[in-house]
């Protein structure tokens, strides 16, 4: 692996070798927290990379000074001191994707930012964060640290713009291979403070695939040709798709994705996914985030068959389209009969986020012989056990349109595949009704456009 040249000049840059600089930068968490001033906006790495070691000292500093700060991140853990309800008047939090944040929104200090994941750096830089607090792996023999599992949540150009960068070095985070444009490495000489920590990163064990997911996955696998460059989402469906691709005997698949999960590891182990026919990063699986469990961390650690990249690199539709036969696979929450897709809200209530869905929908269709697939279960039961269709005449009032109807290609449920591309409004409505739950087909047919 070839290494880049450090760009940012940290507080100890130039004062001897990187080991000497590391010792000069190492300090207690409370001291590092003093580099962040009341009134600052600060970018903070997410989820498994949340800087726990600095979290509580920073919250205590804000309380003691009656200060206030703005946090920029996503997928914030629910056990953070900074986002505790008692600190709601001290911290404003903005995220361009919701997970546990949806449970915190009622505090009045947690806000969603509508933005594509590839625009994470643009959004953060627009807020002009004076500080950044990130968690990295231990440095290698050259002083480079991997920003690791969730490190793409704070893009490098945000770090280069920040006046103060505090690095929590967690020796339990895996060092993930990364190089070239959009690399995910950070050098000791680029830091302004180092706080050491040792805690197991939060795991997201694979969600077992149910029978409905399996049926959807079988239809999806039929749409994936040999040599395709695939993009997966998360959850039981992604795992089911991985299993079906292997069972179907697919060959020479490649990977460029925003999220690498355990299903990727399984496909690589089985030789189904070998990246031999890709045009970019040939021979290597490329992703921005690694979301799974310890088995995935151990498999990806120092594995030359992986290359972690920035989210603006992986999710740029123009770069996605540089590979041939890209097949993007994403989830939807509901779709109306014209093809409008909601993948992020329950009515007006933000549930998740735009994420990278539209980026992959566009990039895969711009790819030579590429395909975009949006998958959803045909129905769901509410808390009272009443069955509802996820294919609806019109999206409910306040629902977000994540992917406009003009961009939708394949829609898959457990009842089949609907190809909506270049179909009339009437044709696409009929195609969607054909893959709706049978209990709702007559009702949906009465809502056909005239």
* pLDDT tens by residue, 34-61: 999 999 999 999 999 999 999 999 999 9
Q: Which residues pair with 26 in a beta bridge?
A: 194
| Range with lowest mean pLDDT among 143-152, 231-240, 258-267, 373-382 | 231-240
Nearest to 237 by CA among 259, 211, 260, 255: 211
Q: What is the pTM of this model?
A: 0.96
> Cα–Cα distance between 232 and 215 in angstroms, integer?
17
Torsion angles phi and psi, residue 129, rounded to 5: -65, 125
In Å, what is the CA distance from 135 to each residue of 107, 108, 187, 355, 408?
26, 27, 13, 22, 37
Chain-wide mean pLDDT for the chain? 96
Query: Is the backbone of residue 218 left (phi > 0), alpha (psi -120 to 50) or beta?
Result: alpha
pLDDT of residue 233: 83
Tokens 């591309």 belong to residue: 421
pLDDT of residue 2: 67
Q: Over 80: is that where the pLDDT of 197 sits? A: yes
Strands (E) in 23-163, as ranges, are 41-44, 69-73, 91-95, 110-112, 131-136, 144-146
* pLDDT band for position 208 (cuts 50, 70, 90): confident
* pLDDT band for position 207 (cuts 50, 70, 90): confident
Q: Over 90: is that where the pLDDT of 220 sits? A: yes
* pLDDT band for position 449 (cuts 50, 70, 90): confident
Nearest to 411 by CA among 384, 434, 380: 434
pLDDT of residue 376: 97
> Mean pLDDT, to the nearest integer, of 190-198?
98
Residue 36's Cβ-count burial label (10 Å; 0-12, 13-18, 19+) is buried
Is residue 258 among the annotated active site residues? yes
Catalytic residue among 258, 310, 334, 414: 258
Nearest to 220 by CA among 113, 409, 373, 46: 373
pLDDT of residue 1: 60
* pLDDT band for position 114 (cuts 50, 70, 90): very high
């Amino acid at each position: 692996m070839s290494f880049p040249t450090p760009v940012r000049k940290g507080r100890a840059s130039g004062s001897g070798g990187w080991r000497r600089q590391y010792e000069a930068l190492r300090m207690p968490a409370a001291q590092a927290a003093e580099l962040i001033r009341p009134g600052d906006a600060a970018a903070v790495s997410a989820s498994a990379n949340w800087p726990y070691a600095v979290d509580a000292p920073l919250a205590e500093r804000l309380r003691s000074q009656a200060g206030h700060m703005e946090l920029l991140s996503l997928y914030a853990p629910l056990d953070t001191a900074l986002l505790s309800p008692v600190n709601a008047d001290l911290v404003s939090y903005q995220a361009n994707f919701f997970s546990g944040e949806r449970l915190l929104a009622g505090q009045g200090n947690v806000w969603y930012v509508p933005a594509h994941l590839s625009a994470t750096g643009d959004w953060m830089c627009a807020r002009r964060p004076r500080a950044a607090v990130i968690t990295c792996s231990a440095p290698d023999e050259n002083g480079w640290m991997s920003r690791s599992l969730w490190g793409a949540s704070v893009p490098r150009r945000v770090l280069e713009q920040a006046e103060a960068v505090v690095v929590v070095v967690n020796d339990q985070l895996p060092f993930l291979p990364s190089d070239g444009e959009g690399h995910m490495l950070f050098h000791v000489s680029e830091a302004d403070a180092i706080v050491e920590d040792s805690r197991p990163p939060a795991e997201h064990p694979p969600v077992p695939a149910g029978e409905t997911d399996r049926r959807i996955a079988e239809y999806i696998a039929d749409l994936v040709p040999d040599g395709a460059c695939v993009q997966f989402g998360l959850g039981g469906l992604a795992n089911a798709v991985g299993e079906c691709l292997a069972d179907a005997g697919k060959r020479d698949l490649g990977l460029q994705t925003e999220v690498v999960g355990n299903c990727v590891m399984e496909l690589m182990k089985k030789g189904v996914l070998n990246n031999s026919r890709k045009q970019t990063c040939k021979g290597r699986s490329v992703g921005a985030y690694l979301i799974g469990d310890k088995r995935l961390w151990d498999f990806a650690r120092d594995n030359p068959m992986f290359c972690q990249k920035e989210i603006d690199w992986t999710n740029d539709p123009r770069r996605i389209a540089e590979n041939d036969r890209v097949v993007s696979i994403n989830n939807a929450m509901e779709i109306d009969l014209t093809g409008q897709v909601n993948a992020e809200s329950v009515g007006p209530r933000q549930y998740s986020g735009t994420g990278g869905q539209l980026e992959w929908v566009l990039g895969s269709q711009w790819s030579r012989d590429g395909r975009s697939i949006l998958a959803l279960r045909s129905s769901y039961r509410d808390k009272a056990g009443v069955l509802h269709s996820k294919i609806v005449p019109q999206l409910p009032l306040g629902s977000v349109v994540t992917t406009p109807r003009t961009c939708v290609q394949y829609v898959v449920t457990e009842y089949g595949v609907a190809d909506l591309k270049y179909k009339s409004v009437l044709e696409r409505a009929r195609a969607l009704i054909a893959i709706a739950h049978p209990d709702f087909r007559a009702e949906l047919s009465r809502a056909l456009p005239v």
